[in-house]
Amino acid sequence: MQRMSNLFLRTLRDDPSDAEVQSHRLLVRAGYIRRAAPGGFSWLPLGYEVFRNVERIVREEMNAAGFQEVHFPALLPIEPYQATNRYEEYGPNLFRLQDRHGADFLLAPTHEEMFTLTVKDLYSSYRDLPLVIYQIQTKFRDEARPRAGLLRTREFSMKDSYSFDLDDAGLQASYDAHRAAYIKLFERLELPYVIVSALSGAMGGSASEEFLAPLPVGEDTFIRCTSCDYAANVEAVHTPVPEPRSLDGLPAAMVHDTPKTPTIATLVACVNSDPALRHPDRDWTAADTLKNVVVNIKHPDGTVEPLAVGIEGHREVDMKRLGAQVEPAEVEPFSEDDFKQHPSLKKGYIGPGVLGTNNESGIRYLLDPRIVDGTQWITGADQYNQHVLHLTAGRDFVADGTIEAAEVLDGDTCPNCGSDVEIARGIEIGHIFQLGTKYAEALELTVRDENDQPITPTMGSYGVGVSRCLAAIAEATLDDSGLCWPREIAPADLHVIIAGKDGSPQVAAADELTASLEAAGLRVLLDDRSKASLGVKFKDAELIGVPTIVVVGRGIANDDNPTIEVKDRKTGEREDIALDSIVEHLVSICRP
RNA sequence: CGGGGUGUAGCGCAGCUUGGUUAGCGCGCCUGCUUUGGGAGCAGGAGGCCGGGAGUUCGAAUCUCCCCACCCCGACCA
């Protein structure tokens, strides 16, 4: 039992000024956490209780799946990370430090290297595999911008597991086992989730899916179908490619003067207002135009190559999608100086006529996949103040290939079923990766097969953000009055409020009730504060968010039929329960 | 790293434009009395390097410069 009269807790009446997102505000106001460092939080008793509950559930589900728990240091030497090149690839997000001898160390952002090395250390036979081991550990990442309370911190708790298999089928089985375990886990946490296909990014490897909690405060943008269950990270969305159209009978391309139209908006206004250029049946829209955007692609070896991307005029280039397509190269803006280097590019009037490796600019030209043969476009004529109408793909121009770099819009076509997709935001709560042999090869992990030949195991890695999950659960369940935890996560099963003065019968009754409830195996938070007014106790109970609130008050003074009030935090429904059946009643609520 | 905003008591804020008593207010905290079914009342009290440093000035929370921290947007990001 926890008595609030001596609980290390101070609830706040006002919102902390530095907290913007709801979960952050309420976790601070309810006395669960305190900011202690940039991107770092201290856990207070109630918060740590909830944290341990989330951690326990994660652990139980991992163990239930047959995975074995280990624990590694967070402070690590850099050599293994140099061997996989991640010491460089992680860049400024890696915390680096030196010991007293000047030797380099890092604070681990994730542990692929150490798990791989430990397997190498202990195992050497195919008979030992498959293997899945995991840990729940504090991770460190020097985030450029910690934000949103517990949702993005520089020090956070994460469950990370690693699978080691002999072949692709084994990896797929380990991956599927994690996927299934995560589904059970998030359902037990009562955390809504969407599984989206993702790109593996800097982790290397092939297949990868993210578990997102679909909440507006999430930082990840994803696409989901309004009809089927398709969902994907915005970087990983595939654009359905329309069928090519016939070139027969299409009007010829014509160059027209379109003065002062360097932007899509001015161009559309111009062609709609010029009687010679108007569409016979309707207004032209930005979607009738072909926008050509030039960027620089910086390769890992330092060389820079210009790249032109052709997309529908009503879309922007999505830098995340483009970046994911050209990885590991990086995208940089095309500067005024760059334009001077390429005089054939008339800024604001760039068209396919000069783009492409075989044309005047020599710049590689990639098209959005929707721009199939037979589609007609209004686009730049490569002379200032001129555009060309009816320029037809496959007839008047051919690009060097296609690229998925256009922004995804609400109402785009689902690649799975053809219905509309919508854009949503989510908090990344889990991520599963098929890594392949990148780490095993770099660290020379091999085992002997049945013919005594060395083979390289194939790996997967799988993460769940424990502290982030806690924040996501708070975010998903809170209401205007405060937090509202699922029972298994909550810091207690019951929040018992004494509505009576010191020495009143309510105090004795509450003490007796609490003892009985504890004997029945329920976790009780008892508000026995004598100085706090009843209003404060009610407000604090709702703020703290224990799922069931029990009020020992005037009802017990009824000699004929003494009662105790039971209130459901989420619904607000209250009910007076006879004193002689209260324990049984509460057990049935808490342990259905 | 770019843009914007904010730093004054444990928390939330006013004061700064136009420099000038002892830097205020609400909540919280301490003492006493009253109160007890929805953030109680009265009375008394404690608590401030006004983010840090340098400068201007007879005098700086207030003006100038530099730095730091935090929040938001973007870049970044398993």
What would the pLDDT profile of A476-515 be if each residue is shown by its tens digit? 999 988 999 999 999 999 999 999 888 888 999 999 999 9
From the Cβ of A143, is strand B under 7 Å away? yes
Return the CATH superfamily for domain A28-73+109-237+423-475: Bira Bifunctional Protein; Domain 2 (3.30.930.10)
The closest nt to A208, taking CA to C1', is B78
Spatial CA neighbour of A258 closest among A243, A281, A277? A277
A16 and A29 in contact (C-beta within 8 Å)?
yes
Q: Which nucleotides of B are covered by protein (CB under 7 A)?
A: 1, 6, 10-13, 26-30, 35-40, 69-78
From the Cβ of A12, is strand B under 7 Å away? yes
pLDDT of residue A468: 92
Q: Which of residues 218-257 of A touch strand B (CB under 7 A)?
A: 219
Domain A494-590: CATH class, spelled out: alpha beta
From the Cβ of A20, is strand B under 7 Å away? yes
pLDDT of residue A180: 95
Estimate in Å the CA A396 to C1' B77 gap, whole number. 41
- Exposure class string for A177-202: b at 16+ Cβ within 10 A, else e: bbeebbeebbeebebbbbbbbbbbbe
Q: A356-386: per-residue pLDDT in tens?
A: 878 787 888 888 888 888 888 888 888 888 8
3-state secondary structure of A351: coil
pLDDT of residue A237: 78
Please state whether A9 falls in left (phi above 0), alpha (psi between -120 and 50) or beta: beta
Tens digit of pLDDT at every position of chain A (592 positions): 888 988 888 888 888 887 778 898 899 999 998 888 778 888 889 999 999 999 999 999 999 999 999 999 998 998 888 888 888 777 778 888 888 888 888 899 999 999 999 999 999 999 999 999 999 999 988 887 778 888 888 889 999 999 999 999 999 999 999 999 999 999 999 999 988 887 654 444 567 888 999 888 888 888 888 888 888 887 777 777 888 888 888 888 788 888 887 788 787 877 788 777 787 788 888 888 888 888 888 777 777 888 888 888 888 888 778 877 777 677 777 777 777 778 788 878 888 888 887 878 788 888 888 888 888 888 888 888 888 888 888 888 888 888 888 888 888 888 878 888 888 888 899 999 888 888 999 889 999 999 999 999 999 999 999 999 999 999 999 998 899 999 999 999 999 999 988 888 899 999 999 999 999 999 999 999 888 889 999 999 999 999 999 999 988 988 889 999 999 999 999 999 999 999 999 999 999 9
Q: Which of residues 443-502 of A touch strand B (CB under 7 A)?
A: 461, 463, 481, 499-502
Write down the residue that tokens 């030196």 correspond to. Answer: A98
From the Cβ of A574, is strand B under 7 Å away? yes
A411 and A419 in contact (C-beta within 8 Å)?
no
The closest nt to A219, taking CA to C1', is B77
3-state secondary structure of A194: strand
The closest nt to A29, taking CA to C1', is B11
pLDDT of residue A201: 47
Which helix (DSSP H) or strand (DSSP E) does residue A195 occupy? strand A194-197
pLDDT of residue A81: 87
Q: Which of residues 21-50 of A touch strand B (CB under 7 A)?
A: 21, 35, 37-39
From the Cβ of A527, is strand B under 7 Å away? no
Helices (H), A443-581: 466-477, 505-519, 534-544
Domains A254-402 and A494-590 share a fold: no
CATH architecture assigned to A254-402:
Alpha-Beta Complex (3.90)
Spatial CA neighbour of A87 closest among A59, A69, A106? A106
A81 and A113 in contact (C-beta within 8 Å)?
yes
Domain parsing of chain A, residue ranges: 28-73+109-237+423-475, 254-402, 494-590
The closest nt to A40, taking CA to C1', is B70
Estimate in Å the CA A499 to C1' B71 gap, whole number. 40
Estimate in Å the CA A529 to C1' B41 gap, whole number. 19
